[in-house]
Each structure stands twice: as structure tokens, then as C-alpha cells.
Amino acid sequence: MLQPRWWVGRTGDIEALDHLFQQAVTGNRQVVFITGEAGIGKTTFVELVIERLLERGVGVLWGRCIEHFGIDEAFHPLIEALRERCGGADGSLLLMRLRDHAPTWLAQMPGFLDARDRAALQSEVSGATRERMLREFCELMEVLSSERPWVIIVEDLHWSDYATLDVLSLFAQAAKGVRAGARDLSAG
């Protein structure tokens, strides 16, 4: 069977990611960096990985950092990823989880709320700290990951704001592993 042309030379990388993914599914949180020179196909490789994950029923948050020449917007790639997912097929469930476990994050996406809910939420999160946002994101991911595996992908991390780095660091260092059931999610 012929592989798609953009798999050429990537079989070992895909197998390594599959192995790490299986470790994550059993509760051993993983952090993976995909590095390389500009133009070698990192984004294409990430797209391939995302396609494989979605075929397995994995939730994916995919955000991109952008180069800023002024003040960075805190949590930009994560808010972008959440906004994208909330607008998708299973968006209503994610919106419910955000409302219940991460209201400060939901407040960053007012387009998903009507005027009355927006005002109530703004009142609820008024005065929320950056540290609260960090905790809420970690709790949100713990809850989501208890239902099915989730992967967070942040492209161009070298352009990230410090708040995004802090939340990813806090989540990666959490001692508690998460299991999304005992099912095998390996490729067919």
C-alpha cells in the first residue's frame, strides 16, 4: 500500500508519536516538541498527526502563536484553539465544560453568549486573576481528558506570550495523570 507522499521519511516520527500517545492514554502525560528549520514541513507533519488523532476520536486544541511587535495578548493561541473548537461539531459540549470549569476562559469568547449570559458571566469573573485562569484551564483539560483523550498543539511556541507558556508549563507539570478509559486508541 502506498503512503501519502508527505509521509515519506516520517514513518519513524509517526511511530514515536503513536507510542507517546499510547503512554498518554494510560495516564502518563506527555509533552512533545516538534522542531526544525523553517520550511521543512513541520506544519504539514502536524496536520498529518491531527488527522490521525481525529480519526481516533481524540479531542484536539490547535492554536498558533503569532509574532508580535508590541504587547502580546495573554493566552492568544489557547483562546484561538478553544474558539475554533466551540464553533465546531461538538462545540456545545465544550461550551458547557467551559461554563462549569473555566468561566474566565469563556468570558474571553463573548460571541458564544447572549447579552444576558455575557453580563452574568462578566459579573462572575470580575476581578479574576491570571492565576485563576491558569488553574481553570488545567481543570478544564482534566475534565475533558476524563471523557476522552485530548491533545493540545501550539504552533510557533517561540512567539508565545508568557501567560500561555505558564499555563502549558503548569499543566505539563501536574502530578496527576489522566486516563480516558481503558480503550486502545492505536491506529487500525
Residue 169 belongs to some domain of the structure: yes
- Which residues are CB-contacts of 61 (< 8 A; sequence separation ≥ 6)? 78, 81, 82, 85, 150, 151, 152, 153
Confidence at 43, pLDDT banded by 50, 70, 90: confident
Residue 178 belongs to some domain of the structure: no
The stretch 104-108 carries a mean pLDDT of 95
Residue 102 belongs to some domain of the structure: yes
Question: Bigger pLDDT: 180 or 46?
Answer: 46
Residue 186 belongs to some domain of the structure: no
Q: Residue 185: what pLDDT?
A: 38
Residue 62 belongs to some domain of the structure: yes
Residue 135 belongs to some domain of the structure: yes
What's the domain range around 93? 5-173
Query: Locate cell 521543512: which residue?
Result: 40
Structural contact between residues 57 and 150, judged by C-beta atoms closer than 8 angstroms: no
- Which residues are CB-contacts of 110 (< 8 A; sequence separation ≥ 6)? 118
Q: Residue 26: what pLDDT?
A: 82
Q: Residue 177: what pLDDT?
A: 52
Q: How many CB atoms lie within 10 A of CB 22?
A: 14
